Amino acid sequence: MSEKLKDDLLNILKEEKALYQKLFEIAEEKNEALVSNNTDQLMEIVENDREVISDIEAKDQERNEKIQEIKAEFEIELEKDSYSNLIKKLPEDWGEALNPIREELIELTDEFHSLNEQNQKLLEQAIELNQISFETIVKSIKDQDTTYNKDAKKKKEQPRIINKQG
């Protein structure tokens, strides 16, 4: 039974790693879309992003449930739930099997967070640039006095040879 639990947890971690790799690839695509200012592509990428995040949340829940099964099987009580506290209480071969995939997951999530921060900065810069562009356009319109009001219409009316008044 304990060998099956270890294999189940290992498989869950591998699936989580694959999902995080997919999320990282999506973040790279998002980065490219932000750099090229391709809003249509960005919207499509965000939808994919949400789907993968939902899958990761489901896999995270599955992992937590499996850990509870493992704790029950080995009658483990922990003051603080953490991987390092749990692995100390399990047979040595568990750490040998689980530690490499855990390290890969940690490295991948660190890279993802770094890329996500970069994307956040690019997004903030794009919003700032759009705001400046908008303000420039509004100022230009005001400076040219091309607003739609009665006085502007009278100023720009062309003289007419024939009008209603005679």
pLDDT band at 126 (very low <50, low <70, confident <90, very high): confident
Name the pLDDT band for 157 (thresholds 50, 70, 90): low
Other Cβ atoms closer than 10 A to 23: 21
Whether the predicted pLDDT of 163 surpasses 70 = no
Name residue 39's amino acid.
Answer: T
Of 11-20, 80-89, 130-139, 154-163, give the range with the top mean pLDDT: 11-20
> For the domain 1-143, what is the CATH code?
1.20.58
Q: What pLDDT sits at residue 16?
A: 96
Residue 81 has pLDDT above 90, yes or no: no
**Residue burial 107-145, b: 16+ Cβ < 10 Å; e: rest:** ebeeebeebeeebeebeeeeeeeeeeeeeeeeeeeeeee
The answer to whether 70 and 7 are in contact (CB under 8 A) is no
| pLDDT, the chain, mean | 87
Q: What confidence tens digit (pLDDT) does each residue in 13-64 have?
A: 999 999 999 999 999 999 999 889 888 998 999 998 999 999 999 999 999 9
CA atoms within 13 A on the CB side of 20: 21
Mean pLDDT (whole number) for 76-88: 90
